[in-house]
């Protein structure tokens, strides 16, 4: 792939045409702009059309701030039939009840306005136990998808067509919150009226601040690409477009320098926002410096946009006092941490995965099955609480600071983590994992952690206040203190903020150490951002934040018979839990044995090619191991780039 054209950092608002998937549009834009990093701001079904914001280069760093944007649609709902996919692409089955009148439809709409619970369609891209819901539905075993809370702010009938009395159709104008399925709205409206209904057509007229009137057709984009990079760049909105809803704080030159280093500041211009609210950091000339949050009377940086672009790989990684050495700072699985600049390095096939770097080979970490199993024999603990999915560079920086704080207090560094991701209980679906649970324990031990508590996460724990949670720990063991980042919190409704925990510690006699969030190229390292980059196919970008190449752990299945009669056939890899995988395609990988607390952490070293198809992984060289073996598959690059 060609190097990214200069100036291709921004937002391209595309008018998607029916017949294209959202992934198709992103792939086309990526090719026409020669920009490696690209992603969209909300999926549109293939039959739908309308606004699809595509974020390019630096613009990909602000996608998360648009994921909660409201959407507006013009939807055609057809009554008198149902569809297995809840839209016109599925097989239609005639309804059993009488078709409604226009007046009946208008009356029924009232029940769908405001906050409602909505069950996602069976044919959706949601993952259940690592598999797409639409895959399970196609096999005749649709998943039990839990209803979700969504908000429909406006729902009006603007056109009524009863030219076919047996199949009337209503055109609805819909304004709704993120996560709302218009297909589900059509299905549920038909159920409410007793006649069945499906979505016949859909146009997205707005996605947050991006409107269809300002969107560019695919032909317009192709024409601009034919003229040259300047014409294409002229179609882009700046990365700060549409962020005006986030309150701003104007910083002095000195404050700009401080936040650019990842430091928290007490600004001269105090924003009028609630604690924990998101804030834009602005220079005195109005330039967007970064985005962060307002906590404890300080601005806490999350993303910084000053200096070299993240994709250029020249930005300096920053954290409070952060270096790049020392116990627990990284795993040794360095890969390419340049953010994608060194493409020759990023795309070269790995001969072998680097060995795991261990802070102290004498460390025999104790793994405790829950807080109730803690005993005084383990000694005083200095604790960090979190899921620690991925053990990325931000986590490893925090763990290094935890080890330092524990040494200063004469305590043992310890972690409380969970056997399930909290989102699985809260939202009904767990996010795809970046690190196998067994491998997570190995990496925690390598980072210098001496005690890891694996706590069961259930509804009772979810509603436990932070002070009761701390009391349950201190009931079993001495607690020297906690280490947290400014934006961290635990306990019911995230009540255990650093400020609240610090006040509790002053009363109860334990310390709270707050360390600045780790910034890489001006961006706070987060598991959600790494997952987004993996899903978008940006393996180099994910590697820059993860600190190692993306890897997954699964179990080998029986090899398929080779089509040509030669070789040993392709071997499928199955997963017990959802894992973070790149888009469909072929990838250069290395394969090795799975890691576990009592297993050697051997580097993956056997070259192979993996095909990702609809969330499934197939190894093309069928000699990766025996069926039933647990293995690690480490992704390097798309096979065409290796």
Q: What is the mean pLDDT of each run of 10 residues along the chain (642 residues)?
A: 57 94 90 87 89 91 87 96 90 89 96 93 71 74 82 96 93 94 95 95 96 95 93 91 91 87 84 89 89 86 64 36 33 33 39 83 92 94 93 94 95 92 59 90 95 89 91 95 90 88 94 87 84 88 91 88 55 88 90 89 90 86 83 82 51
Q: Are residues 386 and 498 in the same domain?
A: yes
**Residue 270: inside a domain:** yes
**Residue 626: inside a domain:** yes
**Residue 316: inside a domain:** no
Considering the candidates 45, 86, 188, 333, report the single residue annotated as catalytic.
Answer: 45
Q: Are residues 261 and 174 in the same domain?
A: no
Predicted structure pTM score: 0.60
Task: From 505, 520, 535, give the residue that closes a domain.
Answer: 520
**Residue 315: inside a domain:** no
Q: Are residues 472 and 589 in the same domain?
A: no
What pLDDT, on a 0 to 100 scale, did the predictor assign at position 561? 59
- In the three-class reduction of DSSP (H, G, I as helix; E, B as strand; rest coil), residue 412 is classed as strand
Q: Are residues 579 and 467 in the same domain?
A: no
- CA pair distance 69, 42, nearest whole angstrom: 9
Q: Residue 215 sits in a domain of what CATH number?
A: 3.30.2350.10
Q: Residue 612 sits in a domain of what CATH number?
A: 2.40.30
Q: Are residues 420 and 556 in the same domain?
A: no
Q: Are residues 134 and 193 in the same domain?
A: yes
Q: Are residues 265 and 375 in the same domain?
A: no
Q: Are residues 501 and 586 in the same domain?
A: no
**Residue 336: inside a domain:** no
Domains contained in the chain, number = 5
Give the DSSP per-residue string, 578-640: -B--PPSEEEEEEEEEPP-TTS--PPP-EEEEEEEETTEEEESSTTS--TT-EEEEEEEEETT
Task: From 520, 539, 572, give the residue that closes a domain.
Answer: 520
What pLDDT, on a 0 to 100 scale, did the predictor assign at position 564? 46
Give me the sign of the Cα torsion angle 442, 444, 445, 447: positive
Q: How far is CA 240 from CA 24, 60, 244, 536, in A?
A: 25, 11, 8, 21
Closest CA to 486 of 279, 287, 253: 279
**Residue 540: inside a domain:** no
What pLDDT, on a 0 to 100 scale, did the predictor assign at position 176? 95
**HSE, side-chain direction, 13 A CA sphere, residue 135:** 12
584 is catalytic: no
Q: Residue 500 sits in a domain of what CATH number?
A: 3.40.50.620
Please give the DSSP secondary-structure letter assigned to residue 22.
H
Q: Are residues 386 and 510 in the same domain?
A: yes
Give the DSSP per-residue string, 348-404: SPPSSPPPPP-S-TT---EEESSGGG--GGG--EEEEES---S--HHHHHHHHHHHH
**Residue 430: inside a domain:** yes
- CA pair distance 576, 582, nearest whole angstrom: 18
Closest CA to 593 of 548, 554, 630: 630
- CA pair distance 191, 197, nearest whole angstrom: 7
Give the DSSP per-residue string, 149-178: EEEEEEEEEEEEE-SSTTS-EEEEEEEE-T
Q: Are residues 87 and 189 in the same domain?
A: yes
* CB contact set of 598 (below 8 Å; sequence gap of 6+): none
- CA pair distance 22, 31, nearest whole angstrom: 14
Residue 494's domain comprises: 343-520
Closest CA to 547 of 387, 386, 357: 357
Q: Are residues 375 and 513 in the same domain?
A: yes
- CA pair distance 513, 407, nearest whole angstrom: 13
**Residue 23: inside a domain:** yes
Task: Note whether 92 and 82 are within 8 A (CB).
Answer: yes
Pairing label, strands 381-385, 479-484? parallel
- In the three-class reduction of DSSP (H, G, I as helix; E, B as strand; rest coil), residue 572 is classed as strand
Q: Are residues 278 and 362 in the same domain?
A: no
């Amino acid at each position: 792939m060609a190097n990214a054209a200069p100036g291709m950092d921004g937002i391209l608002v595309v008018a998607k045409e029916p017949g294209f998937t959202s992934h198709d549009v992103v792939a086309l834009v990526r090719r026409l702009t020669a920009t490696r990093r690209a992603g969209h701001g909300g999926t549109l079904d293939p039959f739908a059309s309308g606004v699809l914001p595509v974020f390019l280069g630096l613009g990909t760093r602000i996608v998360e701030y648009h994921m909660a944007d409201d959407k507006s649609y013009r939807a055609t709902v057809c009554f008198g039939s149902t569809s297995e996919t809840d839209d016109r692409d599925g097989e239609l089955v005639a309804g059993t009840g009488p078709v409604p009148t226009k007046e009946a439809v208008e009356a029924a709409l009232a029940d769908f306005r405001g906050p409602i619970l909505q069950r996602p369609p069976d044919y959706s891209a949601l993952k259940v136990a690592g598999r797409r819901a639409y895959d399970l539905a196609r096999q005749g075993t649709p998943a039990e998808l839990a209803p979700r809370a969504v908000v429909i702010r406006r729902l009006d009938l603007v056109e009524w067509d009863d030219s076919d009395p047996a199949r009337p159709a209503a055109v609805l104008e819909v304004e709704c919150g993120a996560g709302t399925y218009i297909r589900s709205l059509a299905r549920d409206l038909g159920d409410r009226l007793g006649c069945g209904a499906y979505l016949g057509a859909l146009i997205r007229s707005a996605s947050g601040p991006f409107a269809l009137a300002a969107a560019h057709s695919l032909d317009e984009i192709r024409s601009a690409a034919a003229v040259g990079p300047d014409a294409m760049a002229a179609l882009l909105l700046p990365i700060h477009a549409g962020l005006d809803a986030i309150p701003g704080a104007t910083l002095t030159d000195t404050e700009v320098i401080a936040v650019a280093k990842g430091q928290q500041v007490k600004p001269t211009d105090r924003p009028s926002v609630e604690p924990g609210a998101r804030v834009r950091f602005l220079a005195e000339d109005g330039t967007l410096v970064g985005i962060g949050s307002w906590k404890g009377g300080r601005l806490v940086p999350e993303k910084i946009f000053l200096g070299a672009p993240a994709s250029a790989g020249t930005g300096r990684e920053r954290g409070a006092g952060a270096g790049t050495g020392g116990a627990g700072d990284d795993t040794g699985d360095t890969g390419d941490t340049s953010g994608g600049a060194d493409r020759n390095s990023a795309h070269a096939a790995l001969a072998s995965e680097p060995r795991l770097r261990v802070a102290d080979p004498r460390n025999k970490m104790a793994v405790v099955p829950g807080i109730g199993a803690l005993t005084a024999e383990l000694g005083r603990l200095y604790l960090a609480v979190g899921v620690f999915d991925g053990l990325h560079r931000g986590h490893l920086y925090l763990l290094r600071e935890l080890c330092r704080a524990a040494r200063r207090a004469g305590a043992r560094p310890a972690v409380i983590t969970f056997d399930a991701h909290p989102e699985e209980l809260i939202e009904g679906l767990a996010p795809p994992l970046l690190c196998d649970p067994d491998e997570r324990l190995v990496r925690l031990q390598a980072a210098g952690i001496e005690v890891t508590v694996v706590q069961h996460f259930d509804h009772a724990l979810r509603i436990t206040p932070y002070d009761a949670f701390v009391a349950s720990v201190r009931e079993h063991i001495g607690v020297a203190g906690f280490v947290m980042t400014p934006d961290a919190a635990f306990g019911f409704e995230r009540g255990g903020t650093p400020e609240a925990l610090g006040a509790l510690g002053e009363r109860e006699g334990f310390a709270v150490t707050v360390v600045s969030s780790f910034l890489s190229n001006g961006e706070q390292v987060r598991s959600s951002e790494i997952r987004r980059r993996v899903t978008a196919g940006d393996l180099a970008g994910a590697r820059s934040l993860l600190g190692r190449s993306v890897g997954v752990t699964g179990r080998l299945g029986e090899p398929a018979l080779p089509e040509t009669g030669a070789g040993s056939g392709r071997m499928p890899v199955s997963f017990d839990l959802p894992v973070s995988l790149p888009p469909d395609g072929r990838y250069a990988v290395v394969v090795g044995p799975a890691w576990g607390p009592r297993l050697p952490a051997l580097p993956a070293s056997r070259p192979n090619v993996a095909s990702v198809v609809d969330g499934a992984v197939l190894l093309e060289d069928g000699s990766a191991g025996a069926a039933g073996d647990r293995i690690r598959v480490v992704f390097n690059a798309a096979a065409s780039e290796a």
